Structure 1
Amino acid sequence: MIDLITESAITLQESWKSRIDQEGGVADINIDEDMRIFSGDVISRACFGSNFASGQVIFHKLRALQEAMSRKCLATGIPGMRHLPTKNRREAWGLEKEVRSLILQVVKQRVEGVHDDKDLLQMVLECTQSSDLSQAETDKFIEWQESVRAEVLQVCGGQIPDVDMLRKMKQLTTVIHESLRLYPPVSVVSREAFKDMKFAGIHVPKGVNLWIMVLTLHTDPEVWGPDAYKFNPERFANGITGACKLPHLYMPFGVGPRVCLGQNLAMIELKLLVALILSKFSFSLSSKYCHKPAIRLVIEPEQGVNLLVKKL
């Protein structure tokens, strides 16, 4: 996967270099769509290979499905309302059906064919077959950027990072963990009680859904200390266990049997991408940037992230 991620990251680098040259040395870039394109590019290369175009189509459909499911509904939580065929729900149902059909088509072609390559899709299919499971401030921004860049240059020495180099980037890892603590992709973890139970003295009847607010757990001063709302990567200097009183409450990718299957790949992607772009560019916040996190299907910046990007 390292080679595929690097290939996609270099494509992103070249795109930014071109924009910087066109805009006179500094480009004001809203990086959101670029990050999505990078991620979709990696998954498409990893899972679909020669069917790269099919992977791109599926990824864009999934993004449309995410946006449709993220739209707020005043009737949320009223029993039975989720089955009401509103315009938004019909759109989401149609996209879900289309995505499922496209994925199954690619999987069928893969199962019926002969593939010697151990790509990501092949490993997922083999695992499925062998498994019995069902399945804040600008100054600080610059300061941590410089710190991570120094680590990248020291560890990599100007080379493309490999997996051993990524393991040695402790400073980068702490910055990613702290970012995921304050802005976890998963905003809520929900579980249904399959039987009557008592939890901390509270009676929970069978069939009730319990919602766990991840962001609340990630910013609880009793768990993380008095600076729980501040960006402080140093709290993760000794790993997740040393960062808080109850390490199992750190759950940026969910928790338990339904934890995100792609969390390790996502962490490798993040480390490699950040290492590569920090070795080539410097960043500062654009005057267009508006800090406005939005809780949708995932937590994301409502107005995007605008950065001033300059070649080193």
Structure 2
Amino acid sequence: MEHFTCSLLISCALISLLYVWKFLNWVWFTPKSLENHLRRQGFAGNPYRLMTGDLKDSAAIIKNAENQSMEFSNDIVSRVYPIFYAAFKNHGNTRKKSFVWFGPRPALILSDPESVREVLMKNYIFVKMPTSPLNKMLGRGLVMLEQDEWTKHRKLINPAFHVQKLKNMVGSFHMSCSIMLRKWDKIPRIDGSIELDVWPYLQAMTADVVSRAAFGISNDEGEKIARLQKQQAACILQANRSLYLPGWRYMPTKANRRLKQLTEEIESIFQSIISKRMEEEAGKSEEEGDLLGILLESNAKEMQEHGTKSGLNMKDVMEECKNFFFAGQDTSAALLSWTMILLSKNQDWQTRARDEVLQAFGMRKPDYQELNHLKILGMILHEVLRLYPPIVMLARHTDKAGASGKVTIPAGVQLMLPVLLLHHDVETWGPDAKEFNPERFAQGVSGATKGQLTYLPFGWGPRGCIAQNFALLQTKMTMATILQNYSFRLSPSYLHAPLTVVSLQPQHGAHLILTKI
């Protein structure tokens, strides 16, 4: 008995030592080893601080940035990337060879175009960041999947974004925009004009677009989903600014209970939508079907031909729906708001865009081909996406050592690809890089970038955004319809305060003065 007890105690001691070693390795030895490796390659950053790294500084810097607006300027790096901007400033502006600490893991900032190209092309080595349990609540769909799962989902979702399907959605886009404009028309005018924060209207309108074109649901139901997802994203963003501890999300804190409630309510709505659609005896035809109907049809064909395991289950479909509704509504609303803000500041380009629209199709509803032929509006949208990209940073990581250009990247390092820095780089775009100049896109994206990978508002490579054409077509239709009916300029109450809440948004809204044409 004594021998057994002694053996048990020794075993417990060894197990305890093993866990202590793993913990010390996680919080100290591995971070210090990674730091030494990066410094030997010329990268600069703060010395590692136990457990927290730069998180405390980051929280304070972000809070300070959010509490201040700025003079109107497109030079927004210091406000949008406060923690990275501080790293550049504190370490000799070494933005092409810098790192910061997110807890015990260093984040390497790669802003050299060739390094970015290599990372995005080698998606089998440099994969998406491991999704935290919190981020998964937004939707563990195509955006977050890897390898075989990603390949399967991409194959089944592709038919929903075929050009012919997008052509069929033009009517839905126009209808949603017309509903928004009718609301504007009813607002009492002073001297023929109205002062309005268009940001909530654009959010409601894009939610209506996704509701109609993607899910065939009512506007009220779509607005409810959009409102819940916005609250959910805000909760997750707040939680992600502190050190993530495994298991903490299960603690019954007020914030965790609220996040759980929001997630369950969102999932319940989507489950109801999907179940109802699957039970319908006769859905829409393939030509008229919305994105959900096309996805379900594509999935059913795949399972019929290759077996049940080759398709998506109910949970998979729901996650894709959550992903697309959030991304489709959020990204498009942000792009539309920055487009209206920049055209308010650049009246000459607003006039040129309106003249092009009126010359192409007057006051009537355009079709798909007519929208595609709006060259000036296309140039404007590219320039807006350059200055205010919806996603300002792409993140990757690797579980094994890899190389990007002349840089050797050890396992366990995060890779931050700063889209905004690439878009504002003077070396690439010239001395007017921070100025609004759509003319630079007169020869298209390839002409503007001269073949360099310096423009990626929707990502790039195999993991580029599948809904890019959906967002651009919707934005063209909306802007064309607004330009037909209203001229607009900035209101004196407008506060310039770009803020990242998943996408880059106007923190205090988009207050404009609109005049009916």
Deviations 1:218-242 (A, max 9, x none): 1112222222111110111111111
**Shift in alpha-carbon separation, 1:157–1:291, aligned structure 2, 3 A:** same
C-alpha displacement of 1:58: 2.0
Counterpart in 1 of 2:407?
A: 202
- Specify which of 465, 476, 483 is matched with residue 278 of structure 1: 483
**Shift in alpha-carbon separation, 1:24–1:88, aligned structure 2, 3 A:** farther
What one-letter code is carried by the residue in structure 1 that aligns with 2:385? L
Q: Does 1:170 align with 2:375?
A: yes
**Shift in alpha-carbon separation, 1:140–1:98, aligned structure 2, 3 A:** closer
Counterpart in 1 of 2:438?
A: 233
For 2:208 and 2:174, how far apart are their aligned partners in 1? Answer: 11
Counterpart in 1 of 2:178?
A: 10
What one-letter code is carried by the residue in structure 2 that aligns with 1:14? R
Give the 5 Å matches for 1:236-275. 236-275=441-480
Contact 2:498 2:505 in 1 (8 A): yes
SS of the aligned residue for 1:28 comes to: strand
C-alpha displacement of 1:112: 3.0
- Specify which of 233, 247, 269 is matched with residue 102 of structure 1: 269
Q: Does 1:302 align with 2:302?
A: no
- Specify which of 361, 386, 400 is matched with residue 181 of structure 1: 386
Q: Does 1:47 align with 2:214?
A: yes
SS of the aligned residue for 2:216 comes to: helix
C-alpha displacement of 1:84: 7.4
In structure 1, stretches of 5+ residues that fail to align are: none
What one-letter code is carried by the residue in structure 2 that aligns with 1:244? T
C-alpha displacement of 1:280: 0.9
- Specify which of 279, 284, 309 is matched with residue 112 of structure 1: 279
C-alpha displacement of 1:148: 0.2
For 1:250 and 1:82, how far apart are their aligned partners in 2? Answer: 38
Deviations 1:174-221 (A, max 9, x none): 101100111011121111214211223333233432121111111112
In structure 2, stretches of 5+ residues that fail to align are: 1-168, 303-309, 321-340
The answer to which of 183-192 and 207-216 deviates more is 207-216
Counterpart in 1 of 2:226?
A: 59
C-alpha displacement of 1:46: 1.8
The answer to which of 147-156 and 225-234 deviates more is 225-234
Contact 1:47 1:55 in 2 (8 A): no
Q: Does 1:29 align with 2:196?
A: yes
Contact 2:402 2:410 in 1 (8 A): yes
For 2:514 and 2:424, how far apart are their aligned partners in 1? Answer: 30
The answer to which of 21-30 and 134-143 deviates more is 134-143
Contact 2:343 2:349 in 1 (8 A): no
**Shift in alpha-carbon separation, 1:249–1:192, aligned structure 2, 3 A:** same
Structure 1-normalised TM-score? 0.88
Deviations 1:33-60 (A, max 9, x none): 0000100011111233255543332222
SS of the aligned residue for 1:283 comes to: strand
Identical residues among aligned pairs (%): 34
**Shift in alpha-carbon separation, 1:53–1:311, aligned structure 2, 3 A:** closer
Deviations 1:277-301 (A, max 9, x none): 1111111111011111112321111
C-alpha displacement of 1:158: 2.3
Aligned CA-pair RMSD: 2.7
**Shift in alpha-carbon separation, 1:79–1:223, aligned structure 2, 3 A:** farther
**Shift in alpha-carbon separation, 1:74–1:14, aligned structure 2, 3 A:** closer
For 1:240 and 1:210, how far apart are their aligned partners in 2? Answer: 25
Contact 2:382 2:438 in 1 (8 A): yes
Contact 1:31 1:306 in 2 (8 A): yes
What one-letter code is carried by the residue in structure 1 that aligns with 2:398? A
